[in-house]
């Protein structure tokens, strides 16, 4: 119930975790979900307390039908992913992308191995704000 796969540094300003749903309020990760929506930058210490501010980083390939999180999400295999306090590593099956996130005191490093040239990163913010960039 109350376990989140956070990665971060001790006394860090932010923590990261995979997000598997945006439909359950502060319960945005479930270990048995097979959907990966992106890496969530969070301040939420527990699902019981909620998140006061967050953003989501979603690696993508190709053109999306619509520029929404629903159309950008991918399937993944939790059992093949790495959830450690020092880093997260996930392979998105839809896009063939392997990404690794390593935290730092004030942010982190997101290393992404894209399988195609039309790659991008979808940034989603609380509410209806999104920044959508395809990297040429």
- Domains of the chain in sequence order: 15-135 (2.70.98.10)
Q: What is the pLDDT of residues 65-103, one digit of tens each?
A: 988 889 999 999 999 999 999 999 999 999 999 999 999
For 29-56, write each residue's pLDDT tens digit.
999 999 999 999 998 777 777 777 889 9
SS3 96: coil
Under the banding of pLDDT at 50, 70 and 90, the label for residue 126 is confident
pTM comes to 0.91
pLDDT exceeds cutoff 60 at 136: no
Q: What is residue 115's predicted lDDT score, i.e. its pLDDT? A: 86
Query: Which residue, chain included where needed, has tokens 């001790």?
Result: 10
What are the distances in angstroms from CA 1 to CA 29, 34, 37, 78, 116?
10, 17, 20, 16, 37
């Amino acid at each position: 119930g109350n376990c989140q796969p956070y990665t971060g540094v001790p006394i860090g300003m932010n923590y990261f975790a995979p997000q598997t749903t945006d439909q359950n309020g502060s319960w945005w990760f479930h270990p048995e979900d097979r959907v990966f929506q992106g890496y969530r930058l969070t301040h939420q210490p527990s699902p019981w307390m909620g998140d006061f501010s967050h953003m989501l980083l979603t690696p993508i390939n190709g053109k999306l039908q619509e520029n929404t999180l629903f159309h950008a999400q991918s399937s993944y295999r939790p059992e093949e992913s790495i959830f450690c306090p020092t880093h997260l590593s996930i392979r998105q099956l839809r896009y063939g992308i392997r990404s690794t996130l390593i935290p730092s005191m004030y942010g982190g490093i997101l290393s992404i191995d894209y399988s195609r040239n039309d790659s991008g990163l979808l940034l989603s913010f609380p509410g209806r704000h999104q920044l959508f960039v395809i990297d040429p």
